[in-house]
Amino acid sequence: MTLIENIQYYLPEFILSLKQTGTMMGISMSSCLLFGLPLGVALFLSNPNIKGSQPASYWVLNFLITLVRSFPYLLFVITLIPVTRFIIGRAFGPVPASLPLSIVAVAIFARLVEQVLLDVPEEIRLLADSLGTSKWQYIWHFLLVEARSGIVLAYTTAAVSMVSYSTVMGIVGGGGVGDFAIRYGYQSYQTGIMYFAIVVMVVIVFIIQMLGNFIARKLDKRK
């Protein structure tokens, strides 16, 4: 069979794997936004270098985030199987596979958000202080406004990483494009199919990155 015929033959499985990747990415990136952004802001506000911070909270958050990020990912997924089963009721499939992916996404994004917020000029805090703002107002009307393009870029970076992390989720039955490439390409000696899947993933990453860059550029009025 030619490569085209091969692709046509495996197309149903490939489309299924795309949907599985979409499910895992959708869940993990939503969690990333829901939990990672507040966690990143909390990390920033508790940072010992920030005025009025709570270093004790920082050390706890910092430890947890570093722990998650330093864990070898494949072993992290396996270690989490009982937890996944406890929370979701089953440990295998794209939805359960999204749990470890989400935890890593949240940790990565939170750390990136903290770094972006640390780059917001000190003058902005002085202004907020002088206007008698509450902490919530400072976060919403000042920090997030000035850091918005950086946060979009951080989110993009996290999304690109998650595409990569999602490729190994076949180990817990998550499927996805990476799993398709391994099973139908590498293990079935269909090298062409494997490269096809890789090209599709590279295209996905490029689209995510370009979209992120475009939105960040539109939001950034600092120059």
CB of 217 to other proteins, least distance (A): 12
If one asks whether residue 118 binds other proteins (CB under 8 A), the answer comes out as no
If one asks whether residue 145 binds other proteins (CB under 8 A), the answer comes out as yes
CB of 115 to other proteins, least distance (A): 18
CB of 126 to other proteins, least distance (A): 6
CB of 148 to other proteins, least distance (A): 6
Contact 181, 197 (CB under 8 A): yes
Site for other proteins in 6-45 (CB under 8 A): none
From the list 17-25, 26-34, 71-79, 144-152, the region that binds other proteins by CB under 8 A is 144-152
From the list 11-19, 34-42, 121-129, 177-185, the region that binds other proteins by CB under 8 A is 121-129
Which residues are near other proteins by CB under 8 A?
Answer: 123-124, 126-127, 129-133, 137, 141-142, 145-146, 148-149, 219-223
